[in-house]
Structure 1
Amino acid sequence: MVDVKRLAAEVLGVGESRVRISPEALDRLEEVTTKADVRALIKEGLIYAEYAKGVSRGRWRELHEKRRKGRRRGVGSRRGSKYARLDPKEAWVNKVRALRRYLNSLKRRGLIDAKTWRELYLQVKGGRFDSVSSLRAYLISNNLIKQQR
């Protein structure tokens, strides 16, 4: 008897482990000798290829949902250096944009005048402030602005 499973695998273009033979076809397997015979059984639906098993995205999805919410960000979960995780230039751009946004809001609300705004703007550009809170602290300590809620 010819190895039917091997022939079917060749015809279907899959591995032998994925070839399934229906129990109804077992008595007809004795007659099979060629690929043409196998094709006939495939056409009848007695021999078929099982679907390939994919890799589930469930675990990945769950992990990334938690990460999106800010979980699993501790030291033990970090791979790569500080600068591999956030490019220094990107960090700088984010910081400067936040500071300029804050300065513009102060100017728009009339809490600082144009001259003070210009001085602070240049200081922001020069890297004097680490964050919006450090700029706010500077403004309060130098009486350039009233303390805000």
Structure 2
Amino acid sequence: MHRIVVQEADFDIAAETARLAGLNVGGIASFTGTVRAERGDAARVTALRLEHYPGMTEKALAGIAAEAAARWELTGCTIIHRVGRLLPGDNIVFVAAASAHRAAALQATAFLIDWLKTAAPFWKAEELETGETVWVEARASDDEAAAAWKQR
């Protein structure tokens, strides 16, 4: 059972975890990403704007969830990604995997976020304290993390 959601509204981490726990699982692992207030170059971020292509994004996320389910015995997984204008500290993304055993849940969660960072069609722009808006470039470290899963 996969839950894939792209939305502007915040999400309830406890409710999402409880939904997976209701599937009578042995373990649930999750990751929550939030908006950082500072970039690596010390510039202050006042907001993060996330855009996506409706329909295409959900299809890509469903494919990532299906790949995780094919690799590990999952009872369920959740991917929730927010779009719109978010402020520092706001939740951006929640991924979780539930399984009979912790190893599968932990590995699947790492896989989900690593692949989501590189394979999901989201565009991010940071609004800086200076008034400048900067599009966020893909990071080599994200590409390397996703590529490592292809070799496993």
Pick the TM interval, shorter chain: under 0.3
> Which protein has greater RCO, CA pairs closer than 8 Å, 6+ apart?
2
Larger Rg: 1
Per the normalisation by structure 2, the TM-score is 0.22
Per the normalisation by structure 1, the TM-score is 0.22
